[in-house]
């Protein structure tokens, strides 16, 4: 027997076994990496605030505050600068505050450990007081609103959000990626930078302590939003919309109707009915054929409502929004 050959075969077999074991573990590690990466992507989709469809409205805040609106289909960007001394009605029953103080108020009222919740009071208050849907907010430490290079600065903020998440925000990395991708397409002549004072929607007001604030003319503001912040697809679908206040609190349906109209919705009726609703905040009802419409989906998202199928409509309106006790509590408590 040739022991040298046997020894060589044994060593070769051991080497092959080791390589198989290494290959097995590499396969396992690769599988876990793919699964882990897929899970992170899924989590990012789950946490995403903007689904990439329709207009994205968000707040940029530092010393200054701006409401930025990106319309991806038309490749338009509107930058609406708001003085920090603008007086707003803060939701959750806080009353009137200067705009520049609402973020810190939200930080104080937020629950410890709730990441990304600091700006929710500001986002919610701007949506309800200004009457326009606001998806997100970004707080950055070293940003002022330049006119000439706003796009490049905005892209830089988005890119940093994708890579390092320096900013305080409720946006996910996926949101930043989508915003960065769509903003790249906007040409300089498709960017509007407008100040609140320019549209004649504010006036100076002296408080009891002799300090001055800006008081908003909501009628003029609504005209501006209906011209610059509307959803083109909602106007194209042109569905007739009815608002129903299901509570005993006056003006609740009219409040929501203002937001819907500023989005481009065709509100044809505002009324009061004592009707049961599934979601105590609000419910959007339509026939089955309208459930997948852009209008219904956008209303559900913007108002945080639940869908309810309308079996027998009144024949006059195609969509009904029922506003309940939960909406009033969000505004007032």
In angstroms, what CA-CA distances link 133 with 12, 13, 108, 139, 304?
A: 69, 68, 24, 18, 11
Residue 114 corresponds to which tokens in the numbers above? 């709730």
**In this structure, are strands 87-90 and 95-98 parallel, antiparallel, or unpaired?**
antiparallel
Residues 5, 143: one domain?
Answer: no
Average pLDDT score over residue span 242-256: 96
Q: List beta partners, residue 71.
A: 76
Q: Which residues contact 307 (CB under 8 A, 6 or more apart)?
A: 283, 284, 285, 286, 291, 296, 300
Average pLDDT score over residue span 110-139: 84
Distance from C-alpha of 299 to C-alpha of 286, rounded to nearest angstrom: 12
Inter-axis angle of helices 173-184 and 150-163, to 10 degrees? 150
Residues 300, 260: one domain?
Answer: yes
What does the chain come to in residues? 333
Domain end among 172, 205, 222: 222
Say yes or no to pLDDT of 34 above 70: no
pLDDT in tens, 49-77: 998 889 999 999 987 899 999 999 999 99
Q: First-to-last CA distance in the chain?
A: 93
Q: How many domains does the chain have?
A: 3
Residues 280, 311: one domain?
Answer: yes
pLDDT in tens, 229-247: 999 999 999 999 999 999 9
Confidence of residue 36 (pLDDT cuts 50, 70, 90): very low
Domain end among 169, 202, 222: 222
Confidence of residue 108 (pLDDT cuts 50, 70, 90): confident
Residues 192, 71: one domain?
Answer: yes
Residues 173, 270: one domain?
Answer: no
Residues 243, 297: one domain?
Answer: yes
CATH number assigned to the domain comprising residue 203: 3.30.420.590
Whole-model pTM? 0.83
Confidence of residue 118 (pLDDT cuts 50, 70, 90): confident
Residues 72, 162: one domain?
Answer: yes
Residues 206, 285: one domain?
Answer: no
Give the pLDDT of residue 43: 47
Number of Cβ atoms within 10 Å of the Cβ of 146? 12
Three-state DSSP state, 117: coil
Residue 12 corresponds to which tokens in the numbers above? 């070769």
List the domain range (segments joined by +) for residue 296. 231-332
In angstroms, what CA-CA distances link 190 with 36, 115, 267?
A: 40, 34, 29
Say yes or no to pLDDT of 42 above 50: no
Residues 168, 65: one domain?
Answer: yes
Residues 107, 192: one domain?
Answer: yes
Residues 60, 42: one domain?
Answer: no
Residues 65, 207: one domain?
Answer: yes
Average pLDDT score over residue span 246-264: 96
Q: List beta partners, residue 203.
A: 215
**In this structure, are strands 202-206 and 212-216 parallel, antiparallel, or unpaired?**
antiparallel
CATH number assigned to the domain comprising residue 291: 3.30.70.2390
Average pLDDT taken over every residue of the chain: 85
Domain end among 13, 28, 47: 47
Nearest to 253 by CA among 326, 302, 322: 322
Distance from C-alpha of 236 to C-alpha of 6, rounded to nearest angstrom: 82
């Amino acid at each position: 027997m040739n022991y040298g050959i046997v020894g060589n075969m044994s060593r070769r077999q051991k080497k092959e076994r080791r390589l198989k074991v290494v290959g097995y573990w590499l396969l396992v590690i690769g599988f876990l990496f793919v699964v882990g990466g897929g899970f992170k992507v899924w989590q990012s989709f789950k946490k995403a605030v903007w689904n990439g469809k329709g207009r994205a409205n968000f707040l940029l805040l530092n010393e200054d505050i701006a409401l930025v609106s990106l319309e991806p289909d038309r490749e338009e960007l509107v930058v609406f600068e708001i003085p920090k001394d603008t007086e707003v009605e803060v939701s959750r029953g806080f009353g009137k505050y200067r705009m520049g103080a609402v973020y810190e108020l939200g930080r104080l009222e937020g629950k410890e450990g709730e990441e990304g919740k600091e700006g929710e009071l500001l986002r919610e208050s701007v949506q309800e007081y200004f009457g326009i849907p606001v998806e997100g907010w970004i707080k950055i430490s070293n940003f002022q609103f330049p006119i000439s290079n706003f796009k490049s600065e905005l892209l830089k903020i988005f890119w940093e959000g994708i890579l390092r998440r320096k900013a305080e925000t409720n946006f996910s990395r996926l949101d930043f990626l989508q915003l960065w991708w769509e903003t790249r397409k906007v040409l300089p002549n498709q960017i509007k930078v407008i100040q609140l004072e320019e549209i004649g929607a504010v006036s100076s007001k002296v408080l009891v302590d002799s300090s001055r604030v800006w008081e908003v003319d909501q009628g003029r503001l609504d005209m501006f939003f209906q011209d610059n912040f509307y959803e083109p697809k909602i106007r194209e679908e042109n569905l007739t919309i009815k608002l129903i206040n299901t509570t005993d609190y006056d003006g609740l349906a009219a409040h929501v109707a203002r937001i819907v109209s500023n989005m481009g919705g065709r509100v044809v009726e505002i009324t009061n009915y004592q009707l049961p609703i599934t979601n105590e905040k609000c419910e959007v009802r339509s026939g089955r054929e309208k459930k997948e419409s852009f209008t219904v989906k956008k209303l559900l998202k913007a108002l945080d409502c639940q869908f309810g199928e309308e079996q027998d409509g009144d024949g006059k309106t195609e969509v009904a929004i029922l506003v309940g006790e939960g909406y009033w509590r969000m505004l007032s408590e």
